Amino acid sequence: MLLKAAIQFIILIWYLCFKIPRPDVFIVQNPPSVPTLAAVKLASGLRGAKSIVDWHNFGYTLLGLSHGRSHIIVKIYFWFEKHFGRMADGAFCVTKAMKHELDKKWGIK
């Protein structure tokens, strides 16, 4: 799983930094969070672009359905999603409930 995410990260960076014209903004849909949020944040910094997350769901909750909420992979995914989600320059989401959760519990406006 870690190797797959590392390979996907490298491929994403290659495309986002070298294969496409420089955008003003990267908009990324979440989930998936791993490795997308980190790759977009790095690419946006390297290319002088903004990054915006389109929140559709929380990836860690979906992963928790198959692994259990207390599984270490779910906890790592939660940290990754929250950490890199907060680093985005902007965010929007699909429901008022998610907006409230992002604002009150994650510090994302």
Has residue 1 got a pLDDT over 80?
no
The range of the structural domain enclosing residue 36 comes to 2-106
C-beta atoms surrounding 102 within 10 Å: 21
Cα 43 from Cα 88, distance rounded (Å): 12
- Residue 52 — pLDDT band, cuts 50, 70, 90? very high
pLDDT in tens, 59-81: 999 999 999 999 999 999 999 99
Tokens 């680093």, residue located: 87
**Residue 92 sits in a domain of what CATH number?**
3.40.50
Whole-prediction pTM value? Answer: 0.90
CA angle 18, 11, 15 (to 5 degrees): 25
Q: CA nearest 31: which of 70, 65, 7?
A: 65
Interval 17-51: pLDDT, tens: 999 999 999 999 999 999 999 999 999 999 999 99
The count of domains in the chain is: 1
